[in-house]
């Protein structure tokens, strides 16, 4: 007897060959199959009689086969299947399929069939090429309706999936409906059985939209429940309250060589107020490229260190970690702050390297020359509290890294770190000493207060506010949506093949004026290590031929960290004039002298990623340029790229990117566990708002979901695949 947990391999119509493919797709049971939703629909719902009015339209026609034959074209090694039908008005329709001779095994003269496709005319006779078809005696499954189209894989077609799922839909009623009945009634949502049925085989466009909203609401409801639980759990922790030293911060800001934007001031104030609380801060600082996140992070860092605590900054790459290290050394040059850099390749302490402060009395160059000793010394200095600020990569979460009183953790490009990695760094600080607090509240064995560090995460990917709230509802949100006044907009141009030489001449002029150039190109198969090296090397060689007079650097993901660092250092020191790079250059690289960004095959990147690349230039006083090289001449590609010509506003570009690619593509793998239906509906502000309000209200009356066991179980399963911390 078939039930929801019946393995698909035990269904008589699903042979072992198909069952094996389904298993690779993650579809093992009947329930898995029922929850495998279409990603789009072919609208074949317009069933009509043949007529001139419908030329160029997608329609469905029913008729009787009056002629059927296969035609072999030997010189082209091709078979054309030709069928002619007559509708009830005896109007003929000729249909052809290419290399599908097996169709005639199922369709014979005299049979009635339905055909769905675009109506054309061929030698005064109505025609269709490669139409969808099925016998008229069957229920409309592949024609005559909104027809579901599923993500396919080798050996399994949408048509096959439709035939297998349809008879199994009767079991949809047995899937527990996790949404409380009162919630469904309140928002006029379908019950689960109806939603699943209408998603697979919708009776109308309206019913499909309603079914999709039901499923999207369910997932977003789980997102918000999880988010609120994370927030509540977080707020149970204690943290060190760091008082806002207005005089210190005011003096620091006044000494900066630039004026803070209003957005920077507001974000800094929000963070400083969070640091004053005895509950740990959990805030996301979101800002466009060049909007000044680093100085906002520096203000909170200075405040924490001046109060007697340590700060850790974790970056996703060694290049970015080193850049942060150098930036903070410069910002804190006159503040007596000891700063260290720790990655898998480098261990440095600013006071030794720059000879700025008083650290040299206990530190000599013999120690640093010995890599093992330098690491030991750095770790001991960090554990003793002598290092005030430590900047690093994943190396910061290695077991031998210990802190004396870490009060603030800053994570750059937080989505590039896993939840476990972020949590490890914080858990290192769960029992730190608090020299300020009196021994009250939650105490450790020694009578000291157990605390957790404040957490500030940063991202340079501009995310529309509604989307940020949807995904990061457990975090406070600070947005830098204002650029420094002295920033010159980057001039962006689409460059077709015919204009390349002219563009190269312009680049020669820029380099002749002392400027530098980035060249980025896409990788078609990023997972294949050798393809990256080969593609980078080919581009490098091509540009050497075009610019024989200039030194050219090469940067790609397969290089050793030391090689990458050396390449970047040569570029910073202007020893190389052109840097050829793969997308490893996307985030955080700061070369003020670079004024030209060339992006090869720009149409292969998303708009948001192109905007990130563009943000590598325009960081100095000189006018900067971004050239989008493309060989595509399709209107869609060119229209998409024109958005970058029109605006430098990352938030505006992210909105366009979101509309064009949908949230799933926009986010990439950040939240890949969410279903497509949910991702597509993330732009629905009302849906997110209602889901959050409902989740808030439910947790007020049933915080542990004891009265909603189905929902509690679903949330547990959801938490295993999606992480919102």
Q: Report d(CA 152, CA 99) in Å as an integer.
A: 20
Same-domain check for residues 458 and 404: yes
Task: Give the chain's mean pLDDT.
Answer: 83
Q: Greater confidence, 611 or 722?
A: 611
Q: Which of 606, 625, 647 is the last residue of a domain?
A: 647
Q: Is the pLDDT of residue 162 over 50?
A: yes
Same-domain check for residues 578 and 641: yes
DSSP, collapsed to helix, strand or coil, labels residue 102 as: coil
User: Cβ neighbours of residue 623 under 8 Å, at least 6 residues apart?
Assistant: 488, 491, 595
Same-domain check for residues 165 and 138: no
Instruction: Return the sign of the alpha-carbon dihedral for residues 525, 530, 536, 540.
Output: negative
Same-domain check for residues 505 and 596: yes
DSSP, collapsed to helix, strand or coil, labels residue 525 as: coil
> Confidence band (pLDDT; 50, 70, 90) for 716?
confident
Pairing relationship of beta strands 625-629 and 594-599 according to DSSP bridges? parallel
Q: What is the DSSP string of 468-513?
A: HHHH-TTSEEEEE----TTPPPPEEEEE-GGGHHHHHHHHHHHHHT
In a domain, 700, yes or no: no
User: How confident is the model over 647-660, as pLDDT tens digits?
Assistant: 888 888 877 877 77
DSSP code of 573?
T
Question: Cα-flanking dihedrals φ and ψ of residue 316, to 5°?
Answer: -75, -20
pLDDT at 435: 40
Select from 9, 37, 38 the least CA-distant residue to 22: 9
Q: Is the pLDDT of residue 367 over 60?
A: no
In a domain, 693, yes or no: no
For 455, the enclosing helix (H) or strand (E) is strand 454-459
User: Cβ neighbours of residue 63 under 8 Å, at least 6 residues apart?
Assistant: 85, 86, 87, 88, 93, 112, 113, 115
Structure tokens at 635: 């209107």
- Determine what percent of the chain is predicted with pLDDT higher than 70: 83
User: How confident is the model over 383-403, as pLDDT tens digits?
Assistant: 999 999 999 988 888 888 899
DSSP, collapsed to helix, strand or coil, labels residue 537 as: helix
User: Cβ neighbours of residue 609 under 8 Å, at least 6 residues apart?
Assistant: 583, 586
Do residues 474 and 699 make contact, with C-beta atoms less than 8 angstroms apart?
no
Q: Greater confidence, 423 or 320?
A: 320
> Confidence band (pLDDT; 50, 70, 90) for 39?
confident
Q: Tell me the helices (H) and strands (E) count for the chain, helix number first.
A: 25, 23
Q: Greater confidence, 688 or 675?
A: 688
pLDDT at 303: 97
Structure tokens at 296: 């906002």
Q: Report d(CA 125, CA 180) in Å as an integer.
A: 57
In a domain, 23, yes or no: yes
Residue with tokens 């329930």: 31
Other C-beta atoms closer than 10 Å to the C-beta of 230 total 18
**Mean pLDDT within 481-485:** 81
| CATH code of the domain containing 98 | 2.40.50.140
Q: Is the pLDDT of residue 530 over 80?
A: no
Q: Greater confidence, 659 or 666?
A: 659
Of the listed ranges 70-74, 414-418, 684-688, the least confidently predicted one is 414-418
Pairing relationship of beta strands 476-480 and 282-287 according to DSSP bridges? parallel
> Confidence band (pLDDT; 50, 70, 90) for 372?
very low
In a domain, 688, yes or no: no
In a domain, 670, yes or no: no
In a domain, 393, yes or no: yes
Q: Which of 604, 626, 647 is the last residue of a domain?
A: 647
In a domain, 597, yes or no: yes
Q: Is the pLDDT of residue 381 over 70?
A: yes
Same-domain check for residues 569 and 537: yes
**Mean pLDDT within 137-160:** 90
Structure tokens at 251: 């003096």
Same-domain check for residues 436 and 457: yes
> Confidence band (pLDDT; 50, 70, 90) for 365?
very low
Q: Greater confidence, 531 or 247?
A: 247
Q: Is the pLDDT of residue 356 over 50?
A: no
User: How confident is the model over 66-117, as pLDDT tens digits?
Assistant: 999 999 988 888 999 999 999 999 999 999 999 999 899 888 999 999 999 9
**Mean pLDDT within 226-233:** 85
Q: Which of 623, 647, 671 is the last residue of a domain?
A: 647
Do residues 378 and 387 make contact, with C-beta atoms less than 8 angstroms apart?
yes
Q: Is the pLDDT of residue 176 over 90?
A: yes
Q: Identify the top-confidence range among 188-197, 309-318, 638-647.
A: 188-197
In a domain, 654, yes or no: no
Instruction: Kindly list the strands in the beta sheet with 625-629, ordered across the sheet, starting from the edge strand earlier in the chain.
Output: 491-495, 625-629, 594-599, 516-520, 578-581, 552-555
Q: Report d(CA 192, CA 37) in Å as an integer.
A: 13
Q: Residue 122: is it exposed, middle or buried by C-beta count within 10 angstroms (0-12/13-18/19+)?
A: exposed
Question: Cα-flanking dihedrals φ and ψ of residue 448, to 5°?
Answer: -90, 155
Structure tokens at 498: 């015919």
DSSP code of 172?
G
> Confidence band (pLDDT; 50, 70, 90) for 532?
low
Q: Is the pLDDT of residue 665 over 70?
A: no
Other C-beta atoms closer than 10 Å to the C-beta of 549 total 8
Same-domain check for residues 34 and 50: no
Q: How many folded domains does the chain comprise?
A: 4
| CATH code of the domain containing 397 | 3.40.50.300
Structure tokens at 653: 């570009």
Q: Greater confidence, 624 or 650?
A: 624
Same-domain check for residues 90 and 170: no
pLDDT at 585: 63
- Ordered alpha helix ranges (H), 187-306: 192-200, 205-235, 246-255, 262-275, 293-306
> Confidence band (pLDDT; 50, 70, 90) for 424?
low
Same-domain check for residues 171 and 296: no
Same-domain check for residues 34 and 72: no
Pairing relationship of beta strands 78-86 and 58-73 according to DSSP bridges? antiparallel
Do residues 287 and 479 make contact, with C-beta atoms less than 8 angstroms apart?
yes
Same-domain check for residues 337 and 293: yes
Q: Is the pLDDT of residue 667 over 60?
A: no
Same-domain check for residues 250 and 399: yes
Structure tokens at 81: 């299947």
Radius of gyration of the chain (CA): 31
Residue with tokens 């493919």: 21
Q: Report d(CA 204, CA 660) in Å as an integer.
A: 25
Q: Domain span at residue 579? A: 491-647
């Amino acid at each position: 007897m078939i039930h929801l947990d019946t393995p698909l391999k035990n269904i008589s119509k699903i042979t072992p060959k198909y069952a094996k493919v389904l298993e690779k797709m993650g579809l093992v049971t009947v329930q898995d199959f029922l929850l495998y939703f279409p990603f789009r629909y072919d609208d074949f719902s317009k069933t009509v009689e043949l007529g001139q009015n419908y030329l160029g339209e997608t329609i469905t026609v029913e008729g009787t086969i009056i002629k059927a034959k296969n035609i072999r074209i030997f010189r082209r090694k091709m078979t054309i299947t030709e069928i002619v039908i007559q509708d009830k008005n005896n109007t003929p329709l000729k249909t052809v399929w290419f290399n599908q001779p097996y169709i005639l095994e199922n369709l014979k003269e005299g049979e009635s069939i339905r055909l769905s496709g675009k109506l054309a005319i061929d030698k005064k006779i109505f025609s269709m090429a490669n139409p969808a078809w099925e016998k008229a005696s069957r229920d409309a499954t592949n024609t005559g309706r909104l027809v579901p189209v599923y993500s396919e894989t080798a050996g399994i077609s949408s048509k096959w999936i439709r035939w297998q799922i349809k008879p199994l839909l009767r079991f949809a009623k047995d899937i527990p409906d996790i949404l409380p009945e009162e919630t469904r009634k309140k928002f006029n949502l379908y019950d689960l059985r109806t939603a699943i049925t209408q998603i697979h085989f919708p009776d109308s466009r309206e019913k499909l939209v309603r079914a999709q909203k039901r499923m999207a609401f369910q997932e977003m409801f789980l997102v918000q429940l999880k988010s609120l639980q994370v927030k509540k759990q977080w707020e149970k922790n204690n943290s060190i309250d760091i008082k806002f030293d207005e005089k210190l911060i005011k003096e620091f800001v006044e000494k900066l060589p630039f004026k803070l934007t209003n957005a920077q001031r507001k974000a800094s104030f929000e963070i400083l107020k969070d640091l004053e609380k005895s509950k740990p801060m959990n805030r996301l600082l979101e800002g466009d490229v060049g909007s000044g996140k680093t100085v906002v992070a520096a203000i909170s860092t200075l405040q924490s260190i001046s109060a007697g605590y340590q700060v850790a900054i974790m970056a996703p790459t060694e290049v970015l970690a080193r850049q942060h290290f150098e930036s903070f050394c410069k910002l804190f040059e006159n503040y007596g702050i000891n700063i260290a850099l720790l990655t898998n390749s480098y261990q440095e302490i600013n006071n030794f390297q720059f000879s700025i402060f008083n650290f040299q009395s206990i530190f000599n160059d013999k120690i640093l020359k010995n890599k093992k000793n330098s690491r030991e010394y750095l770790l001991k200095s960090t554990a003793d509290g002598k290092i005030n600020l430590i900047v690093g990569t994943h190396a910061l979460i290695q077991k031998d890294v210990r802190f004396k009183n870490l009060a603030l953790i800053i994570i750059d490009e937080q989505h590039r770190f896993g939840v476990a990695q972020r949590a490890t760094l914080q858990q290192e600080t769960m029992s730190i000493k608090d020299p300020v607090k009196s021994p009250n509240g939650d105490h450790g064995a020694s009578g000291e207060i157990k605390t957790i560090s404040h957490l500030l995460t940063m991202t340079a990917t501009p995310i529309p506010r509604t989307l940020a709230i949807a995904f990061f509802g457990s975090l406070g949100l600070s947005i830098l949506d204002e650029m420094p006044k002295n920033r010159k907009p980057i001039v962006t141009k689409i460059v077709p093949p015919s204009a390349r030489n002219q563009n190269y001449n312009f680049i020669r002029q820029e380099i002749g004026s002392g400027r530098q150039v980035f060249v980025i190109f896409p990788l078609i198969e990023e997972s294949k290590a050798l393809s990256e090296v080969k593609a980078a090397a080919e581009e490098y060689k091509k540009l050497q031929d075009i610019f024989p007079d200039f030194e050219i650097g090469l940067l790609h993901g397969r290089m050793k960290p030391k090689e990458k660092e050396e390449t970047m250092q040569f570029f910073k020191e202007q020893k190389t004039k052109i840097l050829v790079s793969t997308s490893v250059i996307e985030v955080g690289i700061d070369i003020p002298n670079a004024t030209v960004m060339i992006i090869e095959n720009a149409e292969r990147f998303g708009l948001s990623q192109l905007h990130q690349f563009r943000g590598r230039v325009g960081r100095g006083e000189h006018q900067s340029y971004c050239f989008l090289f493309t060989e595509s001449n399709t209107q869609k590609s060119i229209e998409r790229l024109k958005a970058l010509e029109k605006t430098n506003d990352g938030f505006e570009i992210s909105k366009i990117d979101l509309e064009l690619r949908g949230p799933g593509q926009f986010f990439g793998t950040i939240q890949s566990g969410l279903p497509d239906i949910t991702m597509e509906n993330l732009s629905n502000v009302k849906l997110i708002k209602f889901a959050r309000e409902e989740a808030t209200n439910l947790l007020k009356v049933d915080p542990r979901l004891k009265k909603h066991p189905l929902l509690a179980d679903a949330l547990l399963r959801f938490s295993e695949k999606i992480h919102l911390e």
